[in-house]
């Protein structure tokens, strides 16, 4: 991702765009000699940035600085470089190429995280764990089922990302205010050739089509749509990191912690969720950039204003770079998650008797008792048991209290059978398998680029 948004690749794309324009113009009858085309093709990447800086200092115009620097190394092509084009021919088209490639890089990391989470979900699909609503203990789920919630968010992001990739337009060859007037003049009024020039350049740069109409720039709404996808990925990662931070506070699941890692300079025992906290920090930054893109679009008066340029040079690359870093961290955390079943089981046991109360009422009624009487007996003992736990009791003894109450009249063994945690997870294990096989597997079966696991520095 750093390479993608670096100067070498960006300005190499500018030269490729100038080459594509010249080749297409030549093919459509403009008298551009073969040696000019060859000269351009031979010098696509040997960019002397010191020379460019000198020209930019002189001209105060970055595109013209690169035009002149390109002409210096390809003199046979000098008078044909940028023929009929405006600056946005290279700046906007290159930006769209970079964003498309950036989305592809993010997609690969999302798929890697999805695969790792899938293995985790399958491994822990049967282990009961407390569910939480309102951050309060709720009906049981399983460790694996909770992981599928994180995965579903990733799938939604992937679907958004794929849609943007499949519909992202090229700016194409549109001229100074989008009217293609300069190209119409170049082709002596031949509208068909102007349209063909646009189509040919799009094809050379591997886009299916260009945006149908534009001003000087393509609509900045496209940027907002792309950054919406990028921000969505950041939000997904942030939600995951928040869950992990709380689970680590509960002692149920922890992010990886290296052998010699220090959690706190003062408190030697600390094992802080630093990776997850960093995900949250970076995600907040990315999320702050998404509305910025819409604000930029909203003030592009008429055919364009230039208050977008400096803003976009920061907002777009930094959105992609920060989200890429987020996904590096996400992969690292997912692949190193440490689950503590004993702690999870203890937390379930602390709450499970309360969750079994409905079935306990049913058991009482089946034995010939009165439903309202059962409710009142259970209510009193559950309140007392909860208070005892809060006051330091070693375990939730509500079942023992009920068994000892002659008014309830059911043996402890029967009550404990009711409170088997596997009875309260619903279809969680089956949902995990169905989700992985029916929804995740098709994504992972697609052809993918092998990516190296990047180091996380904490």
| Residue positions annotated with a catalytic role | 134, 264
Query: CA 308 to CA 296: how far, in whole Å?
Result: 6
448 in Cβ contact with 108 (< 8 Å): yes
User: Of all helices (H) and strands (E), which one includes residue 254?
Assistant: strand 253-254
Helix (H, G, I), strand (E, B) or coil at 149: helix
Chain centroid to Cα 182, Å, comes to: 41
Query: CA 243 to CA 120: how far, in whole Å?
Result: 15
What residue has token string 């692949």?
335
DSSP code string of 284-348: HHHHHHHHHHHHHHHT--TT--GGGHHHHHHHHHHHHHHHHHHHHHHHHHHHT-EE-HHHHHHHH
Query: CA 333 to CA 279: how far, in whole Å?
Result: 10
Query: CA 326 to CA 106: how far, in whole Å?
Result: 10
Query: CA 307 to CA 87: how far, in whole Å?
Result: 15
């Amino acid at each position: 991702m750093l390479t993608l948004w670096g100067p070498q690749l960006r300005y190499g794309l500018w030269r490729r765009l100038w080459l594509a324009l010249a080749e297409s113009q030549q093919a459509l009858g403009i008298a551009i000699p073969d040696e000019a085309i060859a000269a351009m093709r031979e010098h696509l990447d040997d960019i002397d940035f010191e020379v460019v800086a000198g020209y930019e200092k002189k001209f105060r115009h970055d595109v013209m600085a690169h035009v002149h620097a390109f002409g210096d190394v390809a003199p046979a092509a000098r008078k044909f470089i940028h023929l009929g084009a405006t600056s946005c021919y290279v700046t906007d088209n290159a930006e769209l190429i970079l964003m498309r490639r950036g989305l592809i890089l993010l997609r690969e990391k999302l798929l890697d995280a999805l695969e790792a989470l899938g293995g985790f979900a399958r491994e822990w699909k049967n282990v009961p764990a407390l569910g939480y609503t309102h951050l309060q203990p709720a009906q049981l789920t399983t460790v694996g089922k909770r992981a599928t919630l994180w995965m579903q968010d990733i799938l939604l992001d992937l679907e958004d990302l794929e849609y943007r990739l499949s519909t992202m337009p090229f700016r194409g060859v549109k001229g100074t205010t989008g009217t293609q007037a300069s190209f119409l003049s170049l082709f002596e009024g031949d509208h068909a050739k102007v349209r063909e020039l646009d189509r040919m350049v799009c094809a050379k740069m591997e886009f299916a089509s260009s945006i149908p109409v534009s001003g000087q720039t393509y609509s900045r709404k496209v940027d907002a749509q792309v950054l919406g996808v990028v921000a969505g990925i950041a939000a997904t990662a942030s939600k995951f990191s928040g869950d992990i931070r709380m689970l680590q506070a509960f002692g149920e699941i922890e992010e990886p912690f290296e052998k010699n890692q220090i959690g706190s300079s003062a408190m030697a025992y600390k094992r802080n969720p630093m990776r997850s906290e960093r995900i949250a920090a970076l995600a907040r930054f990315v999320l702050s950039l998404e509305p910025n893109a819409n604000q930029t679009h909203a003030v592009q008066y008429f055919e364009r204003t230039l208050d977008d340029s400096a803003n976009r040079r920061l907002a777009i690359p930094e959105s992609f770079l920060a989200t890429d870093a987020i996904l590096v961290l996400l992969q690292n955390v997912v692949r190193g998650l440490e689950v503590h079943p004993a702690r999870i089981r203890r937390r379930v046991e602390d709450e499970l008797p309360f969750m079994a109360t409905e079935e306990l009422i049913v058991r009482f009624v089946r034995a010939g008792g009165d439903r309202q009487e059962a409710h009142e007996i259970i209510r009193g003992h559950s309140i007392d048991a909860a208070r005892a736990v809060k006051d330091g009791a070693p375990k939730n003894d509500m079942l023992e209290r009920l068994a000892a109450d002659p008014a309830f009249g059911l043996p402890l063994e029967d009550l404990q059978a009711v409170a088997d945690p596997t009875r309260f997870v619903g279809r969680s294990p089956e949902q995990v398998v169905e989700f992985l096989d029916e929804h995740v597997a098709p994504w992972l079966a697609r052809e993918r680029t092998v990516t190296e696991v990047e180091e996380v520095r904490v």
